Every structure is written in C-alpha cells, then in structure tokens.
Amino acid sequence: MPFVIQRPGYIISPYFDYLSFLFNRNWRHQAGRVLGLMIKLADTEQGTVRGGRIDKGLTTHDRERLAEAEALCRRILEGFGVDPSAIFTGTLNAGHPGGMLPLNTADTETLHPERLPKNLYVADASLLPRSLGNPPILTILALARKVAQTAREAILFQ
C-alpha cells in the first residue's frame, strides 16, 4: 500500500477491486480506467454461526463509519480531479473476518478453540480477538505458522 489514511475504525488505501471486476455483473468499467480506493472497516463484533450458516450484517454504527469513509474517498477522488458523477462503489465483501472464532486464555497453548472438533484447526483472522480494520496479513502468517506447528505436534504425539 503506497499510502494509508488511518481513521478510528477504518483505513483507506489504494486498491483495485478485483472481486467487483471479475464477479459483479453490474461492473461496466474498463480495468485500465479505474482509480480505486479501499475502505477497510473494523466492523462491530456481532454475528452468529449456526447450522453451517454465517449471519453477519453491518450494524447502524458500522454503516455510519462506512458512510463517513465513503464520503472521504469521494473527497479524495474529487481532489484528484475525478468528476463526481463518475465515482462508483464496488462490491462490499469481508476480506479478513476477524473475531469469528477468537482464541481465549484456555486456547493459548493449543491454539485450538474448544468449540472445534479435535482434528480441525483454523489458521486465519477468525482467531484474532476482533476485526482489526487494518491489513492483518503478517499477523495471519505468523499465527498460521504457529497453528501448523502446534497441529503437527498434536498429531505426532497422540
């Protein structure tokens, strides 16, 4: 990311929205003519997983912060000389759903939440305590490496 604008609860950074470009049928813009900004929102810790279904909506507070961030993106693009009528939004998606299965104190040695079957390990942002609103990739890499080592040891020493 060549630059980041940090605000309480979100960041804004340059980004090309490949998900929208490849999968959103409403996307009608040539890739070479798009200047993209990403809003990475630290959404409210709320949601459920039941019966194999994830239910995670945006709260009123989330929508307010998202609207604030979108307004800032519009001001930035207009400052670059973009015609306000040419500004459009991409597809809303969850890139790193933090806090879906947070580790607690009892899980620190095993890195295995008790809610999971014994032979199933998770090694992504869902183990973090909450959505960070910042790129978590280095934290995820370190966590995944440690989870893999722990899972391997658990299998070897059964």
Percentage of residues in the chain having pLDDT higher than 90 = 24
What pLDDT, in 10s, does the model give residues 51-102?
877 777 889 999 999 999 999 999 999 999 999 998 988 888 877 777 778 8
Between vectors from CA 151 to CA 106 and to CA 109, what angle results, nearest 5°?
25
Report the DSSP beta bridge partners of residue 50: 53
Rg (Cα) of the chain, in Å, rounded?
Answer: 19
Question: For residues 72 and 70, what is the distance between their CA atoms, to the nearest angstrom?
Answer: 5
| pLDDT attached to residue 94 | 74
Give pTM, 2 decimals.
0.74
Q: Which amino acid is at 132?
A: L
Report the DSSP beta bridge partners of residue 85: none
